Chain A
Amino acid sequence: MKRYILIRLLESLAAIFVITVLVFALTHMSGSPVDALLPQDATQEQIDALVSAWGLDQSLPRQYLSFLGNALQGDFGDSLKWRGYSAMGVVADRLPQTLYLGGIAVAISVVVALPLGVMAAMRKGGKLDKAAQLFSLFGQSIPQFWFAILLIWFFAVALQLLPTSGSGSWQHVILPAIAMAWFQIAALSRLTRSAMLEVLDAEYVKLARVKGVSETRVVWVHALRNAAVVPLTYFGVLAGSVLTGSVTIETVFSWPGLGWVAIEAIRARDFPVVQAVVVIFALIYIVCNFLVDILNAYIDPRVRA
């Protein structure tokens, strides 16, 4: 197990390194921030001052090394768009909002998708199963931003039950969390259903039934515990989806999280913030997958073999 963890840790570190190279290269390939930040009538003095202040006059390898060294200390430089804030300051300021929204979305996903998947499997071919499959089909087919706008239109504009956008109260989080959870519910319920169908046919489940164990206990304890490996594995993907989904959802709902920051920083060519956001997104994604791998290995010894 220790060896497995060590190997996964090294792989994660390598992934982080590659990501830093990619992030640095891609942001610089898209052009100089000078052109995004200074007006077209900027004087040469203004241009020179900005170039010098941001070290843009140094060679790219030198800029990368400087970036990497600082990044290791959590220093991605100062934001070019949100003046007076460090890039990491912007990220740290907004990350809790994304985690809050993402956490609620994941909670909704789990609370809805697991029972739905289990019950669909128990009633295979029945009305509930068909309804769950239809739900999954729509959930995975409808673009997130479009669904988000539909939610706003129905609940905020037509019914005026909830706010359209922004943050500040518990009402504000409902629509973006549902919009974000929608896709996850569809995916997770399908996975749970198929995993449960497989397990419910297993010999040990039949044995439990023969032994007179109640159906509720058979399904929710014996079967679900074994079927849980598949949805658990999906959790790594789920974390990534929540983060990437936050970019769309936070923009539509004007939710002040990291996804919104990412879009605004990209628009403004705010290199330091873009780099900080992507690295933080990558770190969260890698850590989640690392934990899922460890959990998988813990649950299923075949994985670490």
Chain B
Amino acid sequence: MRHPFINRFAAQSASTLTSHIRKRAKAAGKTLLMSSAAAVMALQAAAQDVTVVIDPIASESNLYWETEGAFMLPSLQGLVGNNPETGKYDTSGLAESWKANEDLTSWTFTLKPQAEFHDGWGPVTAEDVVHSFNLHIGDDSRLSGIGNLRDATVTAVDAQTVRFDLPAPQADFLFMLAGRGVLAIYSKAQFDAEGLEGYKTKPAGTSPLVYESSELGQGMTFSTAQDHWSGVDADYDTLSIRFVGEAATKLAMLLSHEADIVSLSRELQPQALDAGFEILASTQGASQTSMVFGALYTDPEGGELPTGLPWADVRVREAMNRALDRSQLLEVLYDGRAEALPVFTMDAQYEGYTPALADRFDADYGYDPERAMALLAEAGYPDAFGDPVIPIIVTSLPGNPEFPLISELAQAYFEAVGLQTEMREMDGASILSARRDRNAPWIMPVRNAPIRPAQVGLQVYFSKVNRPTAYVDDAQINSVFDELAASTDMAERDALASQIFTKLYDDYTHMPLAKIFAEVTVDPDTITGWTFPGSTSSGLSHFELIKTAE
């Protein structure tokens, strides 16, 4: 059996090869043989239906702004796209180009003139963008990150040009509009004719996949557009996305060949691999996992500071970090298919990445139980603390199946070096509720966070902007973050973000664990490849690039 990474490589190679062949075939369109072969291939592939099985999504609606943004209908598009190989912003969305003013407060997008909505709703114009923006910032919007757009002003400069004017610089504005975006473009013409009901019934999108129907809680179906304006044609007929929550049922669907692609929990992947199925992973890291110290607040501006927490002492935090055998953890949790993470929210794709921290990681955070015990003794643990017991939260969140195991393993490691712990079961909403009340004094795995630009990630987890739910509230970090948010100089931003990451690292403010890839298990008899960058919240995107067996 091939290693999954080899499978992934093979799948990507096949995908690249197919793409290469197509390009060559296009270039040498006069070559009869190639054209005939392509025609035969197209005909053979034309009758394919692809079934993808994923977990039920948190909130279902064809009105994207009424969801948290965890799953955008594959038929909809934003202005900016993500390259499937590199994850970088590209022009695979609705805009063919964009530019920002010097202080990054005004962003102008030029729409692709050939872009048009499905079902005859006409070309995509600046008015559609303005209309969609207004819908997305309404009172009923629940989108994560929409706060960054609320105060923007959007102007249709002309039919193909739209300008966003922002009250403050936003260096990561493209991120808001790309794969994990907060703005899906809907047709104004459809709205004028059918109102919201039209969107609820059959929202016209613009991608190579055309929305056909959905069944409450069960899934949705898309057909593929023929001769799509983007030049991208999916090589299958229909795409069915089914929502199935029970892991064993998902595995059964794969084994019985009812499903072609299944988002399978890692515990069940070995069974699928043994049966000859394969794993495809995102080309780029999709999310990061870490354990956090709750209520690590030291900035008095944020409110009352917690007292008596053992992990308020940096020596205890370092000891806890050194108690973790990360290589074993990653092996158990992710079957080794994950990368070590030096700082949560830092990633090489984005600004502030500091290679030195990755280089020093083993020396500073490496598994060393003796050093951990020495640090605890130095800190006077447990006698120096009123309540030395460290609560560890056990929770299960959709999309984070490994959380209970992380907590259990961490407890074993902590107790091995003499830390006193207790497990507490809580559901995700109660945890968030406690954090909103600034009353979360415990250790817990943090939600698998999509990899985001430095400022966005830091803002959510480590800055005063996200009080009271940020995990760290530190005056020095807050100050540097303010500078980062205000800066429009890319070199300076890079240095500032690096400064924050270094501070987070040096202070052992959390227990970074892994950078992980979005994975799906596929039936190799029907699916030969799928290149997706892992840049959306669910990790899945670019459904039109699913390659089916011929």
Number of interface residues of A (CB under 8 A): 51
For the complex, is A188 an interface residue (Cβ under 8 Å from B)?
Answer: no
Stretch with Cβ within 8 A of A (4 or more), from B245-253, B406-414, B416-424: B245-253
For the complex, is A214 an interface residue (Cβ under 8 Å from B)?
Answer: no
Q: Which residues of B contact A297 (CB under 8 A)?
A: none
Stretch with Cβ within 8 A of A (4 or more), from B213-221, B228-236, B326-334: B213-221
Closest to A270 in B: B59
Partner of B433, one of A32, A43, A82, A160: A32
List which A33-85 residues lie within 8 A (CB) of chain B.
33-43, 45-46, 49-50, 53, 80-85
Contact between chains at A263 and B217 (CB < 8 Å): no
List which A141-179 residues lie within 8 A (CB) of chain B.
149, 152-153, 156-157, 160, 163-167
Contact between chains at A41 and B429 (CB < 8 Å): no
For the complex, is B503 an interface residue (Cβ under 8 Å from A)?
Answer: no
Contact between chains at A152 and B249 (CB < 8 Å): yes
For the complex, is A268 an interface residue (Cβ under 8 Å from B)?
Answer: yes
Partner of B248, one of A36, A37, A152, A268: A152
For the complex, is B296 an interface residue (Cβ under 8 Å from A)?
Answer: no
Contact between chains at B245 and A251 (CB < 8 Å): yes
Q: Which residues of A contact B147 (CB under 8 A)?
A: 41-43, 45-46
For the complex, is B60 an interface residue (Cβ under 8 Å from A)?
Answer: yes
For the complex, is B460 an interface residue (Cβ under 8 Å from A)?
Answer: yes
Contact between chains at B466 and A50 (CB < 8 Å): no
Q: Which residues of B contact A90 (CB under 8 A)?
A: 216
Contact between chains at B66 and A254 (CB < 8 Å): no
Contact between chains at A164 and B253 (CB < 8 Å): yes
Contact between chains at B429 and A269 (CB < 8 Å): yes
Q: How far is the CA of A46 from the CA of B65 in the complex (A)?
A: 12
Q: Helix, strand, loop or mixed for chain B's interface?
A: loop
Type the 1/0 row for B398-409, where 1 means its CB is closer than 8 Å to any CB of A. Answer: 100000000000
Q: Which residues of A contact B141 (CB under 8 A)?
A: 46
Q: Which residues of A contact B248 (CB under 8 A)?
A: 149, 152, 252
Partner of A35, one of B63, B139, B218, B433: B433
Contact between chains at B56 and A264 (CB < 8 Å): yes
Partner of B216, one of A49, A93, A164, A269: A93
Q: Which residues of B contact A163 (CB under 8 A)?
A: 256, 258
Partner of B142, one of A30, A46, A156, A253: A46
Type the 1/0 row for B428-443, where 1 means its CB is closer than 8 Å to any CB of A. Answer: 1110110110000000
Contact between chains at A83 and B67 (CB < 8 Å): yes
Query: How many Å from the CB of B172 to the closest CB on chain A?
Result: 14
For the complex, is A261 an interface residue (Cβ under 8 Å from B)?
Answer: yes
Query: How many Å from the CB of A160 to the closest CB on chain B?
Result: 6
For the complex, is B26 an interface residue (Cβ under 8 Å from A)?
Answer: no
Partner of B218, one of A31, A45, A256, A263: A256
Known: A46-B141, A81-B59, A84-B61. A156 touches B429 (CB 8 A): no
Known: A84-B63, A85-B216, A251-B246. A35 touches B144 (CB 8 A): no
Partner of A31, one of B67, B252, B255, B430: B430
Known: A39-B68, A260-B217. A165 touches B61 (CB 8 A): no
Closest to A256 in B: B218
Contact between chains at A41 and B252 (CB < 8 Å): no
Contact between chains at B252 and A164 (CB < 8 Å): yes
Q: How far is the CA of A53 from the CA of B244 in the complex (A)?
A: 30
Known: A37-B59, A37-B142, A49-B139. A165 touches B249 (CB 8 A): yes
Type the 1/0 row for A246-272, where 1 means its CB is closer than 8 Å to any CB of B. Answer: 000001111010001101100111000
List which B113-154 residues lie within 8 A (CB) of chain A.
139-147, 150
Contact between chains at A83 and B61 (CB < 8 Å): yes
For the complex, is B58 an interface residue (Cβ under 8 Å from A)?
Answer: yes
Q: How far is the CA of A132 from the CA of B82 in the complex (A)?
A: 62
Closest to A50 in B: B142
Q: How far is the CA of A30 from the CA of B429 in the complex (A)?
A: 9
List which B49-98 residues lie within 8 A (CB) of chain A.
56, 58-63, 66-69
Q: Which residues of B contact A81 (CB under 8 A)?
A: 58-60
Q: How far is the CA of A263 from the CA of B246 in the complex (A)?
A: 11
Contact between chains at B144 and A41 (CB < 8 Å): yes
Interface centre among A33, A84, A254, A261 (most CB of B within 10 A): A254
Contact between chains at B60 and A254 (CB < 8 Å): no
Q: Which residues of B contact A31 (CB under 8 A)?
A: 427, 429-430, 433
Q: Which residues of B contact A94 (CB under 8 A)?
A: 216-217
Q: Which residues of B contact A43 (CB under 8 A)?
A: 146-147, 150
Closest to A43 in B: B147
Q: How far is the CA of A189 from the CA of B227 in the complex (A)?
A: 62
Contact between chains at B258 and A164 (CB < 8 Å): yes
Q: How far is the CA of A123 from the CA of B432 in the complex (A)?
A: 62
Partner of B66, one of A33, A84, A253, A267: A84
For the complex, is B23 an interface residue (Cβ under 8 Å from A)?
Answer: no
Closest to A268 in B: B58
Contact between chains at B68 and A38 (CB < 8 Å): yes
Q: Which residues of A contact B143 (CB under 8 A)?
A: 39
Q: How far is the CA of A260 from the CA of B218 in the complex (A)?
A: 10
12 A-B Cβ contacts within 8 A? A36-B429, A38-B68, A38-B142, A39-B145, A40-B432, A41-B145, A41-B460, A46-B146, A82-B59, A84-B61, A254-B245, A256-B215
Across the A-B interface, the 5 shortest Cβ-Cβ residue pairs = A39-B144, A83-B61, A36-B429, A35-B429, A43-B147
